[in-house]
Amino acid sequence: MPIDVYETALNVTLSSLLQPKVDHDGLDLLPLCTFSAELTNLIYSVLQNGSAFYLVDCYVSLNPQFNENEHEDRSIIEMQPTIFEQNLYEFRPDGKMISEGGQGKQISDPSLIFKKAAIVEHVQQLRTQTYSILGLCFGEQEPEVVRNFCLTRFKHLAKMLIKDVMHLPKMYKANRREPADCDTELNNEAIELFVKLMAKDKQLLAQFESQGASSEFVETLRVTIQEYDLGYEESKAVNELHLI
């Protein structure tokens, strides 16, 4: 799916979430749930494991076959002043970018090449925003509303947060590279939401534990936050983890 479509979806979702609705089943955040889960899958299953992936560049252009004479017999395509077009690009593990629309030719013009690192950064920034939105929405709701949402409507949230709070610590421990700003910002938002949800309700705590957030996991995270100065308001995060 095109990344610009994801971003458009986030902008639309943002406007509707400024005043989130609460129905008899709880928070109505299904679009944001789907959006966040798709981006997480894109990062961990595609972008960070060396797999080939595709990017679709979608745009609207003038229709060269358009016929504005309404008195003539026209085909459907001739009635349309604009047409929807797309270019498909393949990013291969060896770093090459192939234009499928150009009969599989490798793109060599630097101005036309999308950098994988830039795509990863952009997706991580979008994921950071989704955690921030969820945190804001949860803060305005009663505990039972948040509990119902996490246990029934967004069951994957606990698993996603557990993976994300350890993403930056694992990067430091492996000495892979200095984390980018997008990594740090995502880690901060993930830790904040992780701590708030686990400390909010016993049923939510049980759900996180069933997904792997054992007492040992929480202690490892606490020690890591102190060791590498990670997390939102580092001392606050450590204190709240002590209370879980």
Express each pLDDT in 196-223 by its tens digit. Answer: 888 778 888 889 889 888 888 888 888 8
Assigned domain for 86 exists? no
Assigned domain for 7 exists? yes
* 109/224 Cα distance (integer angstroms): 43
Name which of 29-38, 53-62, 74-83, 235-244 the model is least confident about.
235-244
Mean pLDDT of the residues in the chain: 77
* CA distance readout (Å), 182 to 119, 128, 129: 11, 8, 11
Number of domains in the chain: 1
Question: Are 138 and 197 within 8 A, CB to CB?
Answer: yes
Assigned domain for 204 exists? yes
Assigned domain for 220 exists? yes
Assigned domain for 82 exists? no
Assigned domain for 121 exists? yes
Average pLDDT over residues 109-135: 81
Average pLDDT over residues 132-139: 86
pLDDT of residue 13: 46
Quick check: 118 pLDDT over 70? yes
Assigned domain for 183 exists? yes
Average pLDDT over residues 140-162: 87
Assigned domain for 100 exists? no
Name which of 18-22, 44-48, 49-53, 54-58 the model is least confident about.
18-22
DSSP letter string over 193-242?
Answer: HHHHHHHH-HHHHHHHHHTT--HHHHHHHHHHHHHHT-STTHHHHHHHHH
Range of the domain at 160: 3-55+113-243
* 53/76 Cα distance (integer angstroms): 34
pLDDT of residue 21: 53
Quick check: 14 pLDDT over 50? no
Maximum Cα–Cα distance for the chain, whole Å? 77
pLDDT of residue 161: 92
pLDDT of residue 98: 79
Give the pLDDT confidence of 165-191 residue by residue, as tens digits. 887 777 777 765 566 777 888 888 898
Average pLDDT over residues 98-116: 68
pLDDT of residue 26: 54
Give the pLDDT confidence of 66-99 residue by residue, as tens digits. 888 888 888 888 888 898 888 788 887 777 777 7
The residue type at 239: N
